[in-house]
Structure 1
Amino acid sequence: MVTSTDNQSRKKGAILGMYIGDALAMPVHWYYDRQALARDYGRVTGYLAPKDPHPDSILWRSAFTPVNAKADILHDQGRFWGRPGVHYHQFLKAGENTLNLKLCTLLLNHLQENDGYDGDAYLADYIAFMTTPGSHRDTYVEEYHRHFFNHYASGKPPRACGVVEKHISGIIGMIPLAVFFADDPEQARWAAFDHLGHTHLGARMQAAGELLLDVLLPVLAGEDIVDVIAEKVRRQDNPLLGHPLMRWLDDSDEIVVGRRLSSACYVEDALPATAYLALKYHDDVAQGLVANTNLGGDNAGRGAVLGALLGAANGHGAFPETWIEGLRHPPPELYGNMPV
């Protein structure tokens, strides 16, 4: 089955979906207590600003000690680490994106300026961005950044600073490359995995990246997302899809994501949970992203990936106009391969 959505609309939808899914989830990111989420925000159906305190925040037990000044990537946000109740994204505004998506903007600008992808040049951009005070206003900086910059500050070359990883956030940066090179799947895979390898190493991340591209690239080409995911489940050729997702579609989301699959950020649960939501809400982008947001946990990581998949499946016109207009920093426009 092939959708009627045109090629450029699918590409635009995938990029918009990343930003929308992340921005919707941002204020309730990493709420594991769903009753607390509902108490603090109600049912989230649009962009909201974060509130302090965050009852599930673990910044009170998070720490980062740079090996030297070259590794200082927390800047003025470092003073909030080690404190209870601090919201991970406390200074962001409604419709704003987390650091993961700010880095996607950096990557999209890189693709536009270079008319393609140069991994070494991107790494230079990444290092400059992360070491420049005020480049973003996010309080939380994920673990992989901290490892990368301690390695970099210790003298390792940029391409040798990645670590074995396990979080769904790692594959978000593959999406702009998959979209930009969608008409050349071989090039898309090479660039996406080269990018992943800068920061996220190991078998789990390799499997996660393969699953993402095995679904996203065919959907960008016009294949039906349900058919694509169902075939992946049937073939059992990826270790992250060893679940009877098709049989779970009649169950409540709260049972599937929370009991059968953890709502946490680890790819072995987060990516199957995202695939489940993509199957269930394959033709209703808004309902799917709202459902994901209110499930809590790493809803921002899942939301970025889910938004890209649903946007690719349905085109950019499937998103509510208020969500598109409400993005505080929408994705940059790219010319040539992918006009957004």
Structure 2
Amino acid sequence: MNRKKGALLGALVADAAAMGLHWLYDQARIAEIAGGAPEFRTPNGADFLGPDGRSLGYFAHGGKRPGAPSHYGAQMLAMADSLARTDTYDAEDYARSFQEWFGYGGRWTGYIDRPTRATLDAMARTEAEAEGGPFDRCGADDAQLPAVSKLPPLVVRHHGEAGLAAMVESAVRVTNAREDAVDWGLATAAMIGAALDGATPARAAEAARGVSDKIDGQIDAALAMRAAPAEEVARAFALHCQLEVAFPVIVHLIATATGFADAARANIRAGGDSCGRAIPMGAVLGACFSGDEARAIPRDWLARVDVPGSLAALV
């Protein structure tokens, strides 16, 4: 498997593996019900309840089968569909693909997060006021993990091109129109790009430096906890969806990874927004460990997911 294919499949597989326990915030509960193999668990509302019936998280994926993508994975596929259709990044086409996936009657059936709803509402207003767009200026004032979910196909398609940074900024702004969201998008793209170039996981994590002082500080803080398990790191930064807390956890997962499966399991056991963290982590590690049978995406994990034609066409 080449590194580009590894990045795309790694993102898809890591997201699907985490979906069953996504947004379960109690690490002890995850350990209790899933043990050492928390991947590809069938979503079950009972898993999210404590002994007293109290909710331990947010159960968002009822009815989904193991191996299906979360809404984060669907965001990535919306980008892949646009790239397959146009053979290049086109902001307006990507914005329309996003609407085709998540709008009323769209391809996605399932949970819709807040930035997606805000973006769709802005697209609807734009359509009503000026037929035909421009839909690519409807991003939400938000810096949560959906901002970076679309990036693996974009980076794979345009890796090494001079205009990639501008494309990343544009793609982030389609859904998340905030400067810090753009910065985290550029940092995520840099890690994926370094992995495609042959970097080790530790060097790929370091490649995110230089975007902003804030992100450099997050990387320093994550690497200062290099010896700690992912569960402890996630507790230290927090488990929720904001990139403010999720990005350093992603950096730690990547920098300390010794294999794809172990890192994906550590991400799930850390709890909270595991699917949101899974896509950038999975893209980097899928690329880094491609060609290393012992540490690459497990074959039986690959067999659990359906690879859409648009994603396969990129490699």
TM-score range, shorter chain: 0.7 to 0.9
Q: Secondary structure at the match of 1:277?
A: helix
Does residue 292 (structure 1) correspond to residue 270 (structure 2)? The answer is no
Measured at CA, do residues 220 and 244 of structure 1 come closer, stay the same or move farther in structure 2, by a change above 3 Å?
Answer: same
Q: 5+ unaligned residues in a row in structure 1: which ranges?
A: 1-7, 58-82
Counterpart for residue 314 of structure 1? 289
TM-score (norm 1): 0.80
Contact 2:25 2:239 in 1 (8 A): yes
Residue number in structure 2 paired with 1:60: none
The one-character-per-residue Cα deviations of 1:208-256 (angstroms, maximum 9, x if unpaired) are 01211222212212233323434656x7944123133333222232221
Partner of 2:163: 187
- Specify the alignment match of 2:304 in structure 1: 326
- Is residue 218 of structure 1 aligned with residue 211 of structure 2? no
Q: Distance in 2 between matches of 1:223 and 1:84?
A: 38
Given the superposition, is the C-alpha separation of residues 56 and 300 from structure 1 closer, same or farther in structure 2, using an over 3 Å criterion?
farther
Q: How many residues align?
A: 300
2:91 pairs, out of 113, 116, 119, with 119
Amino acid corresponding to residue 325 of structure 1 in structure 2 = A
Cα pair 2:267 2:278 within 8 Å, conserved: yes
Q: Is 1:37 aligned to residue 30 of structure 2?
A: yes
| Deviation, structure 1 residue 265 | 1.2
Rounded to whole Å, the distance in 2 between the matches of 1:161 and 1:221 is 33
TM-score by length of 2: 0.86
Check conservation: 1:211, 1:238, Cα contact below 8 A: no
Cα distance between partner residues in 2 of 1:331 and 1:44: 29
Give me the identity figure in percent: 21
Q: Distance in 2 between matches of 1:116 and 1:109?
A: 11
Please say if residues 100 and 106 of structure 2, whose CA atoms lie closer than 8 Å, have aligned partners that are also in contact: no
Task: Tell me the equivalent position of 1:263.
Answer: 239
> Does 2:211 match 1:239?
no
Partner of 1:171: 148
Whether the aligned pair in 1 keeps the contact of 2:24 and 2:58 (CA below 8 Å) is no
Shift of 1:332: 3.7
Deviation at 1:44, TM superposition (A): 3.3
1:51-62 matched pairs, under 5 angstroms: 51-53=44-46, 55=48
RMSD across aligned positions (CA): 2.6
Q: Name the residue aligned to 2:253.
A: 277
**SS of the residue aligned with 2:237?**
coil
**CA-CA distance at 1:104 after TM superposition:** 1.9
Q: Secondary structure at the match of 1:326?
A: coil
